[in-house]
Amino acid sequence: MLPSEIQNILTRKEGIEIEYKSAKGGFPLSFWETFSAFANTDGGIIILGIKEKNGQFFPDGLSENQVTELKKKFWDNIHNPNKISQVTLDDKNVYEQKISDNDWVLIVEVQRAKYNQKPVFLNGTPLGNTFKRRHEGDYHCSDDEIRQMFADSNLHVQSSDARILKGYTIEDIDLQTLKLYRRNYNARHEGHPWTGLSDMDFLSKIEAFRKDRASGEKGFTVAGMLMFGKTSSITDQECLPWFFPDYREHFSAERWSDRLYPDGTWQANLYQFFTNVFIKMSRLLPKPFVLADDGKTRLEYTSAHIALREALVNACVHASYTQIGGITIDCYLDKILICNQGSMLVSVEEFYEGNHSICRNPILQKMFVFLGLGEKAGSGADIILKGWSENNWERPVITQHNDPQYVELMLQMPSISPTGTKQGLSREQVEKQSGLSWSIIEQLLKAVQEPISSSELRQLMRFSNATKFKHRYLNPLLTMQLVTMTQPDSPKSPTQKYVLTTLGKTLLH
């Protein structure tokens, strides 16, 4: 680091990536807890020789010789497996620095541990000695978090989706889902030898059913049940009792205007969830009139649709299904949030760089790739970023949350935002989000070009029930900001009226 960068760090308070420690009394024992926490989270900088007093930080007054001795003690311990399980730095990450005429500090840049190095723990025992960084502090990891880190670190040996389930038969497979998958597979692989196989032989080829060569055990895999299983079979204790995919649309004043979750009305396996959710989400995107290379065929899918599909596949193949939560998707007027449980196996920086492919559920990934969905070469991030960039939308933002542990991808879409009128709202989008036909929407928008009361508007629309009228017709238009109140600070005023917004005028025009 350059001296100017160090001086900049010393002006900052402690946080998720910076920790100051006093070393006036010698090498601080709490150093190693912070080292473990930084390594297991996103890395960070530990500066020895700075003390805190009343929320402010001051140098300990250490000499160059004292800091040199601290550095020696650090290196004496760092390679001791009974002190720390992994070394996530090298010589260039540990150095002395003079910060004033009489003050020296020791700076240790802790690197984020790779997925196959975690957990980084102390004293030779992971349970009770593994830490994570949260806000400004170091916290013990739960036993479940530690077990998940060990599972991720062994992905190169056997992934969790390859586990063979005991007692499962073809009766646990939803044959309608399998039929849909095979139809799409056959369309993509016309003439392939697998297209003529029996269902069981086909499931074996794609590793939904497999035999363990070492033990001789055979049966359906977690991946096979996730993709094609019946809801009750997936959520059995033997498989994944916490599996609960959840899709929600927030386009009205209600808690959600549409929701797809395991409610007993469908077989909530991963392929059904992916198929149905992608259809719903793709309707939210604008579909400009674009012709294919033949100059005749209209393309229904744009680069944004492909990016959205890639993001959904990514969530499916990277989620940690052994943790509570699974996959949740929340759609708003101006953004889509796609969340999956578990930690990222690469850093945020590596995600944006692309070409870093580490998959938590590689068998699931292959099942999607067989249909031309998802990428194995680490180019998924590139596809997502390209799709949004080509539409001049804000760059997708990926965030790793650690309490609870999940990954969130935010896809902002100004084209359907009340504040983003560059591309405007299409009739199809408004119909979808409001649940109303265009003819009804057009009547309503024309009626509120001048301020009008709810009762007047209701009479004009020939609707008798005031409560149902507001819920069914007014609230969706208010939520989408096509219509606004003349007295927004007094929503229940007896003289309240409603009028068209600028966005509403643009749409009507």
pLDDT in tens, 169-224: 999 999 999 999 999 999 999 999 999 999 999 999 999 999 998 889 999 999 99
Phi, psi angles (nearest 5°) of residue 171: -65, -20
Confidence of residue 248 (pLDDT cuts 50, 70, 90): very high
User: Is domain 3-153 in CATH 3.40.50.720, yes or no?
Assistant: no
Residue of 327, 339, 323 whose CA lies nearest to 269: 327
- Quick one: tokens of 82? 């009974």
Q: Specify the pLDDT at position 486.
A: 86
Calculate the average pLDDT of the chain: 86
| Partners of residue 328 on adjacent β-strands | 246, 339
Percentage of the chain with pLDDT > 70? 90
Q: What angle do CA 397, 378, 40 make, to 5 degrees?
A: 65
Burial state string for 392-407 with b = 16 or more CB within 10 A and e = fewer than 16: ebbebebebebeebbb
pLDDT exceeds cutoff 90 at 367? yes
Q: Cβ(309)–Cβ(375) under 8 Å?
A: no
430: confidence class by pLDDT, cuts 50, 70, 90:
confident
> For the chain, how far is it from start to end, CA to CA, in angstroms?
57
Residue 377: what pLDDT? 53
Q: What are phi and psi of 118, to 5 degrees?
A: -85, 150
In whole angstroms, what is the distance from residue 10 CA to residue 396 CA? 32
| Residues forming a β-bridge with 84 | 122
Beta bridge partners of 139: 132
pLDDT value at position 393?
A: 85
Q: How far is it, in rounded angstroms, from Cα 378 to Cα 354?
A: 6
Residue 418 has pLDDT above 60, yes or no: no
Alpha-carbon span 467 to 34, nearest angstrom: 57
Tell me how far apart the alpha carbons of residues 132 and 118 are, in angstroms, rounded to a whole number: 11
* Amino acid identity, position 387: G
| Amino acid identity, position 302 | T
Do 140 and 20 meet the contact criterion of CB atoms below 8 Å apart?
no
pLDDT at 417: 41
More confident residue, 248 or 286: 248
Q: Produce one character per residue of 144-153: b if its CB has 16 or more CB atoms within 10 Å, e if not.
A: ebbebbebbb
Please state which CATH number belongs to domain 170-416. Answer: 3.30.565.60
Q: Kindly report, as residue ranges, where domains of CATH 3.30.565.60 are found in the chain.
A: 170-416
- Asked whether residue 376 carries a pLDDT value surpassing 70, the answer given is no
- The whole-angstrom separation of Cα 474 and Cα 290 is 34
- In percent, the amount of the chain with pLDDT more than 90 equals 47
CATH of domain 427-508: 1.10.10.10
pLDDT at 199: 97
Token reading at 414 = 């100004």
Hey, is 33 helix, strand or coil? helix
The pLDDT assigned to 288 comes to: 56
Higher pLDDT, 421 or 447: 447
* Bridge partner list, 108: 46, 94
Residues of the chain with CATH 3.30.950.30: 3-153
Mean pLDDT of 121-149: 90
Which part of the chain is CATH 1.10.10.10?
Answer: 427-508
Does residue 316 have a pLDDT over 70?
Answer: yes
* Of 40, 43, 35, residue with least CA distance to 117: 40
